[in-house]
Structure 1
Amino acid sequence: MPNRPADIFLRFLQLAEAVRGLPSLPALDPLEERILMLVARAGQDQQRLSVRDMMAKHELGAPATVHTRLKSMREKGWIMLADTEDGRRKQVELTQAALQHFDKLSQCMVKAAKAVS
């Protein structure tokens, strides 16, 4: 039976789950994962994303909830807050450890594609 494109994705999920089990960074809850993806995409697009910008995203929930999650993610080592020209605003950025996590996920993607093809 020929391999389906879904097989690649399912293999990726399996490999990614193994990466998540590694003791590199503490686990994220689903909302924190969504926030992480937003921060990663903004960084990839070279867009500035401040704490205030994140708190204004209604799809993430109440501003207080977003603020709490950002604080948690910072303590877990996933994000950092960088200074801007306005000392009252902080830029949300991925840490080096978070970037390494994405590198590992990328390797999982490549491995999954090779294993199924």
Structure 2
Amino acid sequence: MSSPKRPADIYLRFLQLTEALRGLPSLPALDPLEERILAIVARAMQDEERLSVRDMMAKKELGAPATLHSRLTSMREKGWIMLSDTEDTRRKQIELTQAALLHFDKLSKCLLQAAKQN
């Protein structure tokens, strides 16, 4: 492959590298809505913001609360997120699992590799 000529080539190379990650035995795949939820949880953790199940269900752009609840349950079963207790036992905090954090580490390495090949 010749060296990238446009900035978009870096992103396209990144996508190619991340496709290779999908074949590795790690966590089960996410559907597109679950990927959006994962990104929201990751950004909240990065910003050191608390994100409860109730907060997530209030995000109308993600769909109906029942749909979100089923996706959160699915993501927990797949090992991407965990729910932890808060001061109010009725509220659960959404957090990334260690495996999800390792996945983001791998994505970061793909991005750095794609940029380095420019």
TM class by smaller structure:
over 0.9
- Structure 2 unaligned segments of length 5 or more: list them: none
Give the Cα separation in 2 of the matches to 1:17 and 1:32: 17
TM-score normalised by length of structure 1: 0.96
Q: Report the Cα offset of residue 23 of structure 1.
A: 1.3
Equivalent position to 1:78, from 74, 77, 80: 80
Q: Do the aligned residues in 1 keep the contact of 2:4 with 2:10 (CA within 8 Å)?
A: no
Deviations 1:35-67 (A, max 9, x none): 000000000000000001111110000000000
Task: Give 2:10's aligned amino acid.
Answer: I
Residue matched to 1:93: 95
Give the Cα separation in 1 of the matches to 2:4 and 2:82: 45
1:1-117 to structure 2, matched below 5 A, reads 3-115=5-117, 117=118
- Structure 1 unaligned segments of length 5 or more: list them: none
Structure 1 residue ranges, 4+ long, deviating more than 2 angstroms after superposition: none
Q: CA RMSD of the aligned region, Å?
A: 1.1
TM-score normalised by length of structure 2: 0.95
Q: Report the Cα offset of residue 111 of structure 1.
A: 0.5
**Aligned pair count?**
116
Give the Cα separation in 1 of the matches to 2:22 and 2:41: 19
